[in-house]
């Protein structure tokens, strides 16, 4: 069984979702490793040992990391060091990463053209990207003759997503690649990221990926730092694609 942790990150141009697939045998080890990283930070900096590993909060010194908001180079380096330790820990385990995205500019441009076909034919970005992500996770798992359970970060509309998941299992996902998701078991489970180090791991990957592909970091030093962080998990990426409406989903 592969435990599959899902989180999202988006801006005005692209909507991204990441699935982190973790084998049962690696769950405890990765959880302990991430706990240890936060505990180590708490030993040296004004951070609680239960602080959430959250990409935006770490980079911007917000929320659980707000007391590390000193703009000096040493504190910035310390926060990036925590981020790097977490990415190293993720990459050191036998995990796989699947990334799906949606070009929101093309989405907005094409949506009016198909709106007359009915609201169900053109779902919101989160639903659309999640469907593509589930299809890809299922394909990845099916080839390996395994099963996967999907756990996602808490969001509004969780009941709707569970209903859609059930519809997919009964009638298929539709589109050019329709599947009943035979390798995905039960339903989509939603949990607060605050309580799950593995959901936090998915968030770290999703946030970093979005920053890299968006090119929002104009400072070459920041860009290089992000590329270094990404290099720790890059070998674990099994699939990465951003769909542009009007083109093939794959």
pLDDT tens-digit profile of 41-68? Answer: 999 999 999 999 999 999 999 999 999 9
| Confidence band of 101 (pLDDT split at 50, 70, 90) | very high
Q: What is the structure's pLDDT at 110?
A: 79
List Cα–Cα distances, 228 to 84, 212, 222, in angstroms: 8, 11, 10
Reported pTM: 0.93
Measured distance CA(139)–CA(133) in Å, rounded: 10
Name the β-bridge partners of 171.
none
Mean pLDDT, rounded, for 234-244? 97
Measured distance CA(3)–CA(185) in Å, rounded: 10
| Confidence band of 246 (pLDDT split at 50, 70, 90) | confident
Q: What is the structure's pLDDT at 175?
A: 75
Mean pLDDT, rounded, for 153-166? 94
Which range (142-156, 167-181, 193-207) has the least confidence? Answer: 167-181
What is the DSSP code (8-state) at residue 193? G
Measured distance CA(201)–CA(212) in Å, rounded: 17
- Strand-strand pairing, 14-23 and 237-243: unpaired
| Confidence band of 249 (pLDDT split at 50, 70, 90) | low
Does position 117 have pLDDT exceeding 60, yes or no? Answer: no
CB 60 within 8 A of CB 53: no
Contacts of 55 (CB under 8 A, 6+ apart): 9, 83, 203, 204, 206, 207, 208
Q: What is the structure's pLDDT at 248?
A: 66
Q: What is the torsional sign of CA 7, 162, 134, 28? A: positive
Q: What is the structure's pLDDT at 65?
A: 96
Mean pLDDT, rounded, for 14-30? 97
Q: What is the structure's pLDDT at 142?
A: 95
| Confidence band of 121 (pLDDT split at 50, 70, 90) | low
Mean pLDDT score of the chain: 92
């Amino acid at each position: 069984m592969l435990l599959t942790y899902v989180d999202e990150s988006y801006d005005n141009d692209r909507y991204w979702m990441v699935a982190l697939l973790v084998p049962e045998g690696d769950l405890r080890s990765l959880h302990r490793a991430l706990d240890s990283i936060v505990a180590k930070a708490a030993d040296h900096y004004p951070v609680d040992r239960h602080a959430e590993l959250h990409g935006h909060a770490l980079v911007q010194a917000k929320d659980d990391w707000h007391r590390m908001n000193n703009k000096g180079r040493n504190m910035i380096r310390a926060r990036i060091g925590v981020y790097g330790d977490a990415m190293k820990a993720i990459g050191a385990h036998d995990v796989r990463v699947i990334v799906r995205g949606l070009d929101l500019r093309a989405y907005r441009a094409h949506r009016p053209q198909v709106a007359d076909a009915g609201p169900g034919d053109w779902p919101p970005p989160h639903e659309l990207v999640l469907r593509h992500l589930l299809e890809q996770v299922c394909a990845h798992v099916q080839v390996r003759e395994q099963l996967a359970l999907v756990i996602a970060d808490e969001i509004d509309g969780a009941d709707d997503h569970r209903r859609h998941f059930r519809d997919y299992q009964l009638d298929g996902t539709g589109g050019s690649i329709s599947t009943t998701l035979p390798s995905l078991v039960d339903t989509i489970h939603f949990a607060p990221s605050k309580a799950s180090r593995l959901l936090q791991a998915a968030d770290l990957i999703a946030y970093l990926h979005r920053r890299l592909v968006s090119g929002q970091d104009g400072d070459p030093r920041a860009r290089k730092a992000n590329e270094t962080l990404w290099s720790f998990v890059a070998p674990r990426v099994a699939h990465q694609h951003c769909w542009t409406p009007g083109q093939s989903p794959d």
